[in-house]
Structure 1
Amino acid sequence: MTAASHRYSSVAIALHWVIALCILSMIPMGLWMTSAIGHPDTQALAYRMFQIHKSIGFLILGLTVLRIIWRLTHRPPALPGGMKRWEAFAASATHVAFYGLMLALPLTGWLYVSAGWAVSTDKALEVATSWFGLFPIPHLPGVADLPAGVKRALAFQAMGAHSLLAWGAVVLIVLHVGAALKHQFLDRDGVLSHMLPWLKSGHAGLGHAPRSPWAERAVGLGLIGVIAAAGAIAARPYAQPGLPMTAEAKPAAASAPVAPAEAAVTPGTAAAWTIDSAASSIGFTGTHAGKGFKGRFDRWQGQVWFDPADLAGSKAVVTVHTASARTGDPTQEGSLQGAEWFDPAQYPEARFEASSFHSLGGDKYEATGTLKIKTVTVPVVLPFTFTETGGVATVEGKLELDRTALNLGMESDATADWVSKMIGVQIKVSAKRAG
């Protein structure tokens, strides 16, 4: 038998150590961020750590599936011939338990995220998941459509299982490392060289390759099941749907007036302008997890009729494609697509219509109108400046909007613990006289 046959394949070794490093990084990360998320000074960093934690979890899940497939199609190296029967049994059961943990940990985390309920605050909290900012990962099918009480129960039980599984992983890691060191320095049978190619193989005779009989499989998987069940049972007192639902209250904006169906735009009698999209922008600002953010809408259109000498005949209608909201943070952008925020799948456009203009002196003006987002319409007053040079006008304006009045984020963050209640909006428009 060659030396190479005494070791796992290069693919198996690489998968083992990458997954091991990921798991070892996740444990201290999880302990720190669950404590730090509740403190204003560390909330922003903890939020980002949560996103990294989720991404690594999905990486572990994907690599574990690949590793299981590889294990089923490639025979592992044989155990030492002199290995006691109980040691071989324990080794096989521990391996099965590790595979179960590497699947169960990310799956319970995925279920928790999909439930959209924060255990730490006992409130709804819908947060999108983006894999290292590269692409979105959807929630588990059907979970988002469950009643709030059921989602709350699932969140508590999933997090209870997730936490105990994490501690179970710590125990297994200690046992695994201890056994590997025993084989290397006491038994000197070369078992550690199976995963460390630079170590010399042991001199003990080789036995049969482990086959993971049903008994070992049952013990390993049973251990994982007991840990997960214990976590779910421990969380049950907090997960009963009959307990008060602190985030079940209907948002204040639910009673806001609903705008009628959109009618065709009636042009104003003032001069018409053609907007230069490349030189114009609509941005927004606020705070999230204690840290400021800036965003913009990449797609919007506007129709403007304006003349300082004919304010009565001036008018403006701006339509914004809410799915084009960008902040540079994939998780924020994904959350903005959710039903409690912009929900562009149901309401693809927001509409601002200004029908009354007033001069404030000099180049300063004020537009009064309405803003409709989803089914809610609110009155809006937009102060702006207007300057014209050579038939090209520049308009700049700022205002603040109360997102709670617009029914934005009211299920997860009605009290503005995460996202600021007031959102600043900044517009800059460059336009030419039409015709």
Structure 2
Amino acid sequence: MSARPTRYSAIAIALHWAIALCIIAMIPMGIWMTGAISEPGAQALAYRVFQFHKSVGFLILGLTALRIVWRLAHPVPPLPGGMKRWEAFAARATHAAFYGLMLALPLTGWLYVSTGWAVSADRALAVPTSWFGLFSIPHLPWIGEASASLRRTVAFQAMGAHSMLAWAAVALIALHVGAALKHQFIQRDGVLAHMVPGLPQGDAPTAPPPDAWERWLGRCAGLCLVLIIAQAAAIAVTPAPAPQLTTVAQTRPAPVAMQPAAPRQPATGNQAAAWSVDYGASRIAFTGTHSGDGFTGRFERWEGDIRFDPENLAGSRATVLVQVDSARTGDSTQENALEGEEWLDPKGHPVARFESGAFRGLGGDRYEATGTLTLKNASLPVVLPFTFSERDGVATVKGNLKLDRRALDLGMQSDSGGDWVSMDIGVAIEVTAKRMASRS
């Protein structure tokens, strides 16, 4: 039988300090962002901190799982022989409680964000999660399909447990640090050297390995402490059913009735000239504000069937089809949110369509197109003002308009008041196209 090591392995030490630094950073971060998320001046920064907080939480969860696996496969240094029996039991219980907290904290946070409910504002708020912007982390599957009242209740319970567990972690950290310093500077038994390379080893005798019942009792005591704190917090903060839940549906504007898109006009001799779009030099962009900060996005995949001639406005028409899953803003969390059912819903409605058969000159190079924008279950009449210039058979078109997302039923469950995302969304088009040779 091999002797127990005198200090933890390099991997165990690295995992210990990595998790410790993450947890210590997370606590003040969580306290600050909880208050700042409701302040207009700090909301944008708090939103970014919240996303970072979630990423670090999942990092803690992964590192903790790795540490548990490593701990089961590698023996740990023995406790000093001079420790009283109750002190050894308390040490083992504290370590078990730490493992429980390192699992329970990120899991309660994951449960909270999966509810799609903001406790601070007491309303639905679906915010996707991406791990440091690299890839998306799905929400827990069962909670997203639950009723609004159940999601609200679970959100308050999860956040209450998450907060109390964080304070329990503060207490355990203080206890753990105090005990380590006591061993290092008062008892001088070298316990701190187990986890801090470079410190001298103590010369105190080591305690014999604990009995099996002592090991399991200590672990159970630590885990029970975590569960008791979490359950007490959940009971303490569970709110009574809120009557205003019914107002979510009542205040949500009814979507514009879906109308069939106008059919394409058959080709006739009176049609205007056709154009071939240079998609590399063209773009469809959108702008707005999110958490007080401006954002700019674009659609990367779209196609246009355009026939336009300033001398033949009556024969001009345009049809533009946009693949809504190609929306990009450069922010992975925003992009994931746009793919949700309450926003662009690419799974249910993959294509947005703009179709116009009515053009009018406004003088000089200015024109406007009156048409229909079809997005999700809404069909909205729009007027697009634009400029048109042509040189050597190459045309440049630029246009801008504003869309009210209430009329298109965009984000009206999570943000019906425009507190997070502006109600007005600007749309800008820049098209470069080459005149196609007319067919004889």
Q: TM-score by structure 2 length? A: 0.95
Distance 1:264 1:64 in 2: 60
Partner of 1:344: 346
Distance 2:302 2:194 in 1: 60
Distance 1:159 1:35 in 2: 14
What code does the residue aligned with 1:75 have?
P
Partner of 2:114: 114
Partner of 1:94: 94
Distance 1:252 1:388 in 2: 45
> How far 1:354 sits from its partner (Å)?
1.2
* Correspondence for 2:273 among 247, 271, 274: 271
Does the 8 Å contact 2:4/2:78 carry over to 1? no
Partner of 1:227: 229
* SS at structure 2 position matched to 1:151: helix
* SS at structure 2 position matched to 1:249: helix
Partner of 1:218: 220
Partner of 2:198: 198
Distance 1:153 1:105 in 2: 18
Distance 1:339 1:2 in 2: 59
Q: Deviations over 1:21-41 (max 9, x none)?
A: 000000000010111111111
What code does the residue aligned with 2:96 have?
V
Q: Deviations over 1:94-125 (max 9, x none)?
A: 00100000000000000110000000000100
Q: Deviations over 1:322-379 (max 9, x none)?
A: 1111111111111111111011111111111112100000000000001111111111
Q: How does 1:127-206 map to 2 (within 5 A)?
A: 127-206=127-206
> How far 1:318 sits from its partner (Å)?
0.7
Q: How does 1:59-78 map to 2 (within 5 A)?
A: 59-78=59-78
> How far 1:312 sits from its partner (Å)?
1.0
* SS at structure 2 position matched to 1:221: helix
Distance 1:3 1:216 in 2: 23
* Correspondence for 1:329 among 328, 331, 344: 331
Distance 2:237 2:432 in 1: 57
RMSD, aligned CA? 1.8
> How far 1:261 sits from its partner (Å)?
7.0
What code does the residue aligned with 1:433 have?
R
Partner of 1:17: 17
Does the 8 Å contact 1:394/1:429 carry over to 2? yes
Length, aligned pairs only = 433
What code does the residue aligned with 1:183 have?
H
* Correspondence for 1:384 among 377, 383, 386: 386
* SS at structure 2 position matched to 1:80: coil
> How far 1:244 sits from its partner (Å)?
2.2
Does the 8 Å contact 2:289/2:295 carry over to 1? yes
Does the 8 Å contact 1:100/1:224 carry over to 2? yes
Does the 8 Å contact 2:261/2:372 carry over to 1? no
Distance 1:425 1:381 in 2: 12
Gaps of 5+ in 1: none
> How far 1:3 sits from its partner (Å)?
11
User: Structure 1 stretch 184-193 or stretch 250-259: which is displaced more?
Assistant: 250-259
Distance 2:375 2:362 in 1: 28
Q: Are 1:431 and 2:433 counterparts?
A: yes
What code does the residue aligned with 1:184 have?
Q
User: Structure 1 stretch 183-192 or stretch 211-220: which is displaced more?
Assistant: 211-220
Distance 1:375 1:388 in 2: 37
Q: How does 1:235-274 map to 2 (within 5 A)?
A: 235-236=237-238, 238=239, 240-245=240-245, 248-250=248-250, 252-260=252-260, 266-267=266-267, 269-274=271-276
Task: Decide whether aligned partners of structure 1 residues 400 and 406 sit closer, same or farther in structure 2, where only a CA change above 3 A counts.
Answer: same
What code does the residue aligned with 2:286 have?
F
* SS at structure 1 position matched to 2:389: strand
What code does the residue aligned with 1:327 have?
T
What code does the residue aligned with 2:10 have?
S
Distance 1:103 1:267 in 2: 66
Partner of 2:297: 295
Distance 1:262 1:357 in 2: 15
Task: Decide whether aligned partners of structure 1 residues 265 and 219 sit closer, same or farther in structure 2, where only a CA change above 3 A counts.
Answer: farther
Task: Decide whether aligned partners of structure 1 residues 29 and 317 sit closer, same or farther in structure 2, where only a CA change above 3 A counts.
Answer: same
Task: Decide whether aligned partners of structure 1 residues 140 and 386 sit closer, same or farther in structure 2, where only a CA change above 3 A counts.
Answer: same
Distance 1:247 1:56 in 2: 35
Does the 8 Å contact 1:267/1:305 carry over to 2? no
Q: TM-score by structure 1 length? A: 0.96
Partner of 2:317: 315
> How far 1:250 sits from its partner (Å)?
4.3
Partner of 1:58: 58
Task: Decide whether aligned partners of structure 1 residues 168 and 70 sit closer, same or farther in structure 2, where only a CA change above 3 A counts.
Answer: same
Gaps of 5+ in 2: none
Does the 8 Å contact 1:77/1:209 carry over to 2? no
Does the 8 Å contact 1:123/1:247 carry over to 2? no
Q: Are 1:304 and 2:306 counterparts?
A: yes
